[in-house]
């Protein structure tokens, strides 16, 4: 089982001929909305990869449609609470090359119930997984609870905050960052990635693939990305993360999990949207074949 203490957002997409500069106003050519948030995206990716995932989160009174969307994707939504705060949302601007700029309002994501988190994780068994991102409250508390019950704890450290990462490091099994974030953390802590105090570090490099660093064996496994023509890169990293964690939780080797994740991310960037763009495991297997 994978438990995901994760954000849930309503995403609003605006397609533009190019991304605006400081002080500039541009007219959007298209607008759409859908389920998003790093946590929700990753839960959908896990479910579509064929693994069991229980989402722990919160929405406002206007967020029932987001819960329904998660449930339709195969996510266990019984532990999503209703908050008095507004549902979180994101404004996503996308240019003609598929690159994006995103503004997030955290809302109910920062109103997680400590009692709910503790109750759900008390049901976890050794070898289960907890996935976290930096878009909710109760991260450090949940990580410590899960580690204390011998769960594998994964931290998808975005939006990046070196202090938040440092607080969670003692509880982590796997730390996931992009290349820029890895460099920033190494600089803050004064050490190289292979010397970070966590068993495994996954560094994503966009179109150049990803590196899996085993800090116990001091070994690095590199997996290339699949070349595709991107339409919208929003959510590609979440797709990759969800597929990696799903693969590891079901016994796949890091190499196999990363290769499937790279294929899933490649498919996702050829589609518009975030959660709606995440492929099923059948689509991934067909792509790899």
Kindly name the residue from 11, 111, 238, 276 that is annotated as catalytic.
238
DSSP string, 102-161: EEEE-GGGG---HHHHHHHHHT--TT-EEEEETTSS-HHHHHHHHHHTT-EEEEE--S--
Q: Is 69 helix (H, G, I), strand (E, B) or coil?
A: helix
Strands, sheet with 30-36, edge to edge from the N-terminal-most edge strand: 30-36, 9-15, 88-94, 100-105
CA separation for the pair 203, 213 (Å, rounded): 8
CB atoms within 10 A of CB 114: 12
Give catalytic status of residue 115 as yes or no: no
Q: CA angle 242-258-159, nearest 5°? A: 45
Structure tokens given for 198: 């966590």
Q: Are 281 and 267 in contact (CB under 8 A)?
A: no
Structure tokens given for 94: 């996308």
State the residue for tokens 């292979």: 194
Active site residues: 238
């Amino acid at each position: 089982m994978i438990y995901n203490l994760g954000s849930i957002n309503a995403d609003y997409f605006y397609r533009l001929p190019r991304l605006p500069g400081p002080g500039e106003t541009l007219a959007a050519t298209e607008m759409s909305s859908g389920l998003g948030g790093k946590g929700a995206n990753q839960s959908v990716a896990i479910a579509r990869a064929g693994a069991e995932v229980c989402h722990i989160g919160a929405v406002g009174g206007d967020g029932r449609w987001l819960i329904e969307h998660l449930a339709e994707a195969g996510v266990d939504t019984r532990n999503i609470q209703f908050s008095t705060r507004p549902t979180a949302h994101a404004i996503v601007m996308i240019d003609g090359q598929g690159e994006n700029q995103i503004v997030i309002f955290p809302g109910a994501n920062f109103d997680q119930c400590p009692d709910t988190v503790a109750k759900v994780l008390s049901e976890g068994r050794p070898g289960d997984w907890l996935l976290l991102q930096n878009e909710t409250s109760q991260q450090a508390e949940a990580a410590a609870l899960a580690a204390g019950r011998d769960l594998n704890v994964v931290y998808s450290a975005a939006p990046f905050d070196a202090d938040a990462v440092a607080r969670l490091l003692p509880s982590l099994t796997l730390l996931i960052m992009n290349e820029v974030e890895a460099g920033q953390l190494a600089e803050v802590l004064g050490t190289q990635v292979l010397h970070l105090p966590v068993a495994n570090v996954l560094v994503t490099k966009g179109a150049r693939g990803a590196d899996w660093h085993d800090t116990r064996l001091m070994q690095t496994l590199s997996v290339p990305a699949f070349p595709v023509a991107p339409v919208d890169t929003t959510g590609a990293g979440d797709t990759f993360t969800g597929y990696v964690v799903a693969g590891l939780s079901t016994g796949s080797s890091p190499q196999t999990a990363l290769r499937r994740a790279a294929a899933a991310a490649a498919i996702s960037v050829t589609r518009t949207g975030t959660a709606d763009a995440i492929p099923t495991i059948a689509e991934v297997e067909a792509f790899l074949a």
